[in-house]
A and B are shown apart, each in its own frame.
Chain A
Amino acid sequence: MRPIDWIVLVATLLLIVAYGMWKGRRQRHLAAYLLADRKLRWPTIGLSIMATQASAITFLSTPGQAYVDGMRFVQFYLGLPVAMVILSITAVPIFHRLKVFTAYEYLETRFGVGTRTLTAILFLIQRGLSNGITIYAPAVIVSVILGWNIHATNIIIGLLVILYTTSGGTKAVSWTHVHQLLIALGGMAVALIIAIHALPVGFLDAVRVAGRMGRLNAIDFSFDVTTPYNFWSGMIGGLLVALSYFGTDQSQVQRYLTGSTVAESRLGLLINGMVKVPMQFFILFVGAMVFVFYQFVAPPLFFNSVERARVASTAEYAWLEEAHRTNFVARRAAVLEMLHNPAATSRVRALQREEDSTRRAALDLIRKKHPGADANDTNYVFLTFVTQFLPAGVVGLVLAAIFCAAMSSTAAGLNSLASTTAVDVVKRLVWRDATDHQYVVVSKWLTIFWGVFAIAFAEFAGRLGSLIEAVNKLGSLFYGTILGIFLLAFYTKEISGTAASLGAIIGEAAVLWCAAFTNLAWLWWNVIGCAVGVGAAVVIQSVILSGAKDLQRTA
């Protein structure tokens, strides 16, 4: 990091925080503090929705994903536009008509306070933990690559977010989202342009290299439930994840509840549906170009320098390094030949397979020496490239982009956690006769509480090691079941709260069974949870509960 990088980074972050505090000043009523007075327009809502979903790990890990596995990850988002249309037709008018503050408030009107509280608590657990990971994930990557103190990074990100989220509430969060997303995408665009410019071959040749080496595999129509990313898992599993995330997760629902009309909220969701897939394609494409760059400039065998240092002195690693170097020289020559002679493609692919197996062997060695090692090297690819090859100033801009992304999703998380605790727990169950101003004060303290909780969990997350991936999958363990409850609420009139709750328990048991005893890819857990939960509730209502009512009537 050079002085100009520090200036760009610090100035960007301070400006964002100051802007958030200024934009969200004087919020005295609960509707103003939690829903920006329901006055936002669709461009702000749309960008806020996108910024909430795009965390730092999206910008750090997604290019690395393309580097290692190609662009097929984009298929995960194919169901999202369909979900935006479904939610615009169903959820948005209902939430607006009832003037709810949270998605869970709606469940009380349909199933009673028990279901509302249960779903709100499930959300608080899941979002409370994942917010800690949202802070921790970029902090650990930045600390490994730049040598920063991870505890200080966690605390600084957390405190900056707490500052403007507490003082300005939802208005500050939504308006800063607009600038944070633009900075994040701008940083990625600059990184892409410079990566392409640094290539020793032309742009079209670079795309050809990426394609022939299997890094532009954006669409795969083969149906296989054990692979996470193909057209079908994206359209079915991805659709249910998106329905659940955007329709039942308060961190997203709160974004479009700020719309001044149903039309503004709908347009915010629909613009997200139109932009999200191309945006993810663009981020993955950056990774594909970084992959091509490393065909001409020798990459490290293992990008995570901390894990690499642990085994660097061993004879096995030295042998693997030698194999990696030899392979790189042969592969670079073969790639250059491939540009003129397509017949060399098979040789390039064979060398790439050899390189992949060398990387796997290095990973196995690291795992063997340190069982708790961070094995997900994809997270370190992009930032290694940025810090080593981008010019002064641009490094600061890309880091600012990553921090902006971390802050945007954390802020939405804190905002939604405070809203749900204030409205669904405090206002509904604990302190029902407080004034509007008192609820605003409570919400502010709750924002601080959840912020401190997130920082504390981020500090603890370091001890979780490779379990972080498991925590990220936690959402898919619950999303399907929660979505099932909401689908029953939206589309059925006969199902009671008891049947919905029992169905949810059965659906959750089915998901846990699939996760523990089958190799079903995790996207499909959402489908199982939703389908089993809804099916069980319908059966329970129509066979058991209706039968019991009939018996009572007869008696």
Chain B
Amino acid sequence: MSSPFPVPRSPRADGTDNGERRTENDRWRRLYAIVLGELALTIAIFYAFTKAFQ
């Protein structure tokens, strides 16, 4: 199954150059931000839901 996310390769112990590693780290940071952003959005929606139907 192909991934809907930008799937970075796992860190290598061998000679992956710094630029490649930085790009890989940036991709992971973006993915972590998506997860945390979704949490923030979920909390906001739940809060609006609670208030709207109270």
Query: Which residues of A are interface residues toward B (Cβ below 8 A)?
Result: 41-43, 74, 78, 81-82, 84-85, 88-89, 93, 96-97, 207-208, 210-212, 216-221, 231, 261-264, 266-267, 270, 273-274, 277-278, 281
Residues of B that sit less than 8 Å from A by CB:
1, 3, 5, 7-11, 13, 28, 31-32, 34-36, 38-39, 42-43, 46-47, 49-50, 52-54
Structural contact, A208 and B36, CB atoms closer than 8 A: no
Q: A81-B36, A266-B28 are in contact. Are A278 and B53 (CB under 8 A)?
A: no
The 23 sampled A-B contact pairs (Cβ below 8 Å) are: A42-B3, A81-B36, A81-B38, A82-B36, A84-B35, A88-B28, A89-B32, A97-B13, A207-B53, A211-B53, A212-B53, A216-B53, A216-B54, A217-B50, A217-B54, A218-B46, A218-B50, A219-B50, A231-B43, A261-B9, A267-B5, A267-B7, A277-B39
- Residues A212 and B54 in contact in the complex (CB < 8 Å), given A219-B46, A262-B11, A277-B39: yes
Looking at the assembled complex, report how far the CB atom of A13 sits from the nearest CB atom of chain B, in whole angstroms. Answer: 27
Chain A residues with CB under 8 Å of B31's CB are 270
Contacts A262-B10, A266-B28, A267-B5 hold; do A274 and B35 have CB atoms under 8 A apart?
yes
Asked if A263 and B9 sit within 8 Å, CB to CB, the answer is: yes
B11 to chain A, nearest CB (A): 6
Contacts of A78 in B (CB 8 A): 39, 43
**Across the interface, which residues of B come within 8 angstroms of A221, CB to CB?**
47
Q: How far is the CA of A93 from the CA of B24 in the complex (A)?
A: 14
Please determine whether B35 and A273 come into contact, CB atoms closer than 8 angstroms.
Answer: yes
Residue of B nearest to A214 (CB): B54
A216-B50 in contact given A42-B3, A43-B1, A263-B8 (Cβ < 8 Å): yes
In the bound assembly, the distance between CA atoms of A274 and B37 in angstroms comes to 10
Contact A88 B43 (CB under 8 A): no
Contact yes or no, B50 A41, CB < 8 A = no
Residues of A within 8 A of B39 (CB): 78, 81-82, 273, 277
CB pair A211 B36 closer than 8 Å: no
When distances are taken between beta carbons in the complex, the residues of chain B under 8 Å from A211 are 50, 52-54
Q: CB within 8 A of B10: which of A96, A216, A217, A274?
A: A96
- Give 18 A-B pairs besides A82-B39, A221-B47 with Cβ atoms closer than 8 angstroms: A74-B46, A81-B39, A82-B36, A207-B53, A211-B54, A212-B54, A217-B54, A218-B50, A219-B43, A219-B46, A219-B47, A219-B50, A220-B50, A263-B8, A264-B10, A273-B35, A277-B42, A281-B46
Chain A contacts of B54 at CB under 8 A? Answer: 211-212, 216-217
